[in-house]
Structure 1
C-alpha cells in the first residue's frame, strides 16, 4: 500500500484574525513550537491550506493568516473514535510493578473528553477531592489514521498514520479516563514523512515547572507499527480515528508520596521530532445550581 503523501508537513487548525473563521494551515516558520508560541502570546503566522485535514490532496497556498486562537487539529466531527493503549511502556510497567502485557490493553474514550490547547482540564466533582482520587498527568504520542486501514501488516502500518502529541489528567480505566474535558490534544499534526523513526521520539511532562516524566517512545512495548497492525485486524480504522499509545514512567500514583493534580496546577507536555508543546491549566469543577424550569 502506498503511503499517504500530503503536501503539508505540519498542520494546525485555528481561528484567524483576518476572518474570524476556522482555517487549517502550515506554520510559516517550520521550526516554530506552535504550542509554546501560543502559550507565550507570540504572533503565529500560517500558510492557509485549502481542503480538509483528512484530504491527502489538500494544498498549501501562499496566503498567510494570523492565528487568533489554536484549536484541536481535528474537529469533533472529524474524530471517528478514540482508542487508547494502557500499560504500553516498559519503564512504566516496571515502576508500577506490573508484568508487561502479552497483547495491547485497549480501552476507549468518548469524544467529549477531548479539549484543545490552552483549554482548562476539568477535574469533575466525582473525582474530588483530588487527594483521594489521585487524578494523574500523562504525556502520550498519538497516532492519527489518515486513510481507511484494515488487516494492515506491520510492514505497511506507517503508510496510514500521522502523529501528534497528547496529554491528559485522569488515572483509571474506561470510566475515569472518559470524563468530559480531561483530554487535551494538539496543537500540531505532523506528517509521518517528517518523522524518521516514531520509536525514537523523546517526550516530557512538566507540572508546575517540574519535569515529572522524561521518556522516549523507544520504551513502548507495542510500537507504532505493531499497534496499527494489531488494531486493524478484522476492524476498519477509519480516517480520523486517533490512537493514544500510552505513557512513560514518572506518573503520579506510583510516587511516594503520590503526586496528584488539583485546581491551579499548570501542565506542559512536549514531544520531539517537530511535534512540540501543549499547555493546559487544571480546574476543579464547582457545584452548579440547578436551573429552574
Structure 2
C-alpha cells in the first residue's frame, strides 16, 4: 500500500458502521385538555359573577363611591387602624412576657402563664368584651373612681382585645423561641451573655422567621376582629357605616364601603408582611 493511500485512510478516520448509536428520542408533552377546560370554565364563571356584580343596580355603586371617602367613614377607618396597632403592640408585649414565663424553670410562672392562655383562649372575644363593658356591676368604684367613668367603650375595647390577643401571641412567640436550636443558646452562655441578653440578641432575632407568618395572620385577624367592638358602640369603621345606613336605609352600599376598606387595608398589610418576612429570612436556607 502506498504512503499516499495510507495517509488518506488516516485522515478519513475509521470506516462508518451500521451500528451507530440512535439519536435521543424527542419528548412530546401530552396535551392537558382537562386542565385547559377547567381553567376556561373557572374564567367563564368569574366573568359571569363580575358582570352580575357590576351590572346589578341594587349594589348602587354610585352611592358606594360617594361614601367611600366621606368624613364619617374615614374617622371610623382611622380609629380601626389605631385600635389594631395598639392592640397588636400591647398584645405581643404581654404575649412575649407570658411566653418567657411559660419557658421559665419556675413552676409558679409556668402555671400562671399556662392558666392565662387556657382561660382567655377558652372565652369568645364577644363574651370578654361584654364582661368588661359590664364590669361596673362587680366593682362600682376602682381607686375611688366610678367604673363607668374609668371604663369607656374605647378603653373596654382595648382591654378586651389586648387580653385576647396576648393569649394567642404567647403561643406564637413560644413556638418561635422553641424553633431556635439549643446550640445557639449554649454558645451564648459560653460567651457569658445573661439570660435577657441571650433572649434579646440571640434567640428572638432568629425566632422571628417562625414568629412572623402567624403574627401577620394575627394582625390581619385583629384588623377584621375590631369590627366586633361595634356591639359596645365604639365608632370604628363598621359602626360608622352602620350609623349612616340607619339614617339613609342604604344598607348594601354602606356594607360594601366597609368591605372595600377592609380588603384594601388587608392587602397592604399582606404586602408589608411579605417584605418583612423576606428581610428576616436573609441568610436562611429557605428564603421566600
Same fold (TM over 0.5): no
Instruction: Calculate the TM-score normalised by the size of structure 2.
Output: 0.20
The answer to which structure has the higher strand fraction is: 1
Pair member with larger Rg? 2
The answer to which structure has the higher helix fraction is: 2
